[in-house]
């Protein structure tokens, strides 16, 4: 199959899926109302997940995977919800599984279909800012990108799929780099669920204070790591 034919098939599938989504929104389908309420009402989200009993971890893992694949689902909410529902360590475990599955799916899409599929999804700003990832091979650069806050992890996952980085190196490094941030989200959510609000907010304030310099200098950090890699250092 030629690249043009492959691109035509993928485009047709995407337009068909988009048409279905638009139709569901226009007719105000129950599934749309349900998803909107899950997105807007955190209490309803927790009660809904709990009602699924033993299926709750599986559902939560799926939600975490989807929030990587589909950008509008906010990971800033789902991460703490995992801690509130399952506690710090189980929340960390389930979140990590879901995030890893979603991240590896994005990587697979990038690896399978390449730039012709990924490029149209990105704004000019994001493409110009992050396209150096396409040339990335080093595990250190990958680790820093997934560790430092402020980078669009979903977009980066697709771009790493286009890069020459081996699948298993990406899988291991990206998963390990996400653990600190995932633990913080679960820990915060668990203490909010226990109504330890002052402690939770104090903990969050300390984390924000520690992360602000990393966030502020994130582009400079990445450029330095990328330059050292390019220079063979």
Eight-class DSSP state of 205: H
Judged against a pLDDT cut of 60, whether residue 2 lies above it is answered with: no
Report which listed range, 51-55, 83-87, 147-151, 223-227, is most confident: 83-87
Judged against a pLDDT cut of 70, whether residue 8 lies above it is answered with: no
**Mean of per-residue pLDDT scores for the chain:** 77
CA angle 123, 162, 150 (to 5 degrees): 50
pLDDT band with cut points at 50, 70 and 90 for residue 233: very low
Distances (CA, A) of 193 to 114, 189, 201: 42, 6, 12
Q: What is the pLDDT of residues 195-217, one digit of tens each?
A: 776 766 776 777 777 666 666 65
Q: What is the pLDDT of residues 60-103, one digit of tens each?
A: 899 899 888 876 566 667 888 888 888 889 999 999 999 999 99
Give the pLDDT confidence score for residue 224 in this predicted structure.
Answer: 59
Judged against a pLDDT cut of 50, whether residue 126 lies above it is answered with: yes
Lowest mean pLDDT among 30-34, 161-165, 189-193: 30-34
Give the pLDDT confidence score for residue 146 in this predicted structure.
Answer: 87
Give the pLDDT confidence score for residue 71 in this predicted structure.
Answer: 62
Give the pLDDT confidence score for residue 118 in this predicted structure.
Answer: 74
H/E stretch holding 128: helix 124-130
């Amino acid at each position: 199959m030629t690249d043009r034919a492959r691109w035509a098939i993928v485009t047709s599938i995407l337009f068909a899926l988009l048409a279905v989504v638009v139709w569901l929104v226009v007719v105000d389908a129950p599934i749309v109302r349900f998803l909107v309420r899950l997105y807007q009402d955190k209490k309803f989200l927790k009660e809904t997940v709990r009602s699924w009993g033993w299926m709750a971890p599986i559902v939560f893992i799926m939600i975490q995977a989807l929030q990587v694949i589909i950008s509008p689902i906010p990971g800033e909410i789902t991460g703490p919800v995992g801690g509130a529902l399952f506690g710090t360590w189980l929340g960390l475990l389930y979140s990590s599984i879901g995030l890893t599955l979603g991240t590896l799916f994005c990587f697979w899409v990038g690896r399978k279909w390449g730039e012709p599929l990924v490029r149209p999804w990105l704004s000019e700003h994001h493409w110009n800012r992050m396209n150096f990832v396409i040339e990335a091979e080093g595990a250190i650069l990958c680790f820093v990108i997934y560790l430092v806050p402020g980078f669009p992890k979903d977009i980066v996952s697709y771009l790493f799929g286009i890069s020459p980085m081996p699948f298993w190196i990406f899988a291991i490094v990206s998963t390990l780099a996400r653990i600190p941030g995932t633990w913080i989200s679960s820990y915060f959510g668990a203490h909010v669920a226990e109504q330890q609000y002052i402690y939770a907010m104090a903990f969050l304030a300390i984390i924000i204070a520690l992360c602000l310099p990393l966030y502020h200098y994130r582009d400079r950090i990445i450029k330095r790591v990328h330059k050292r890699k390019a220079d063979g250092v």
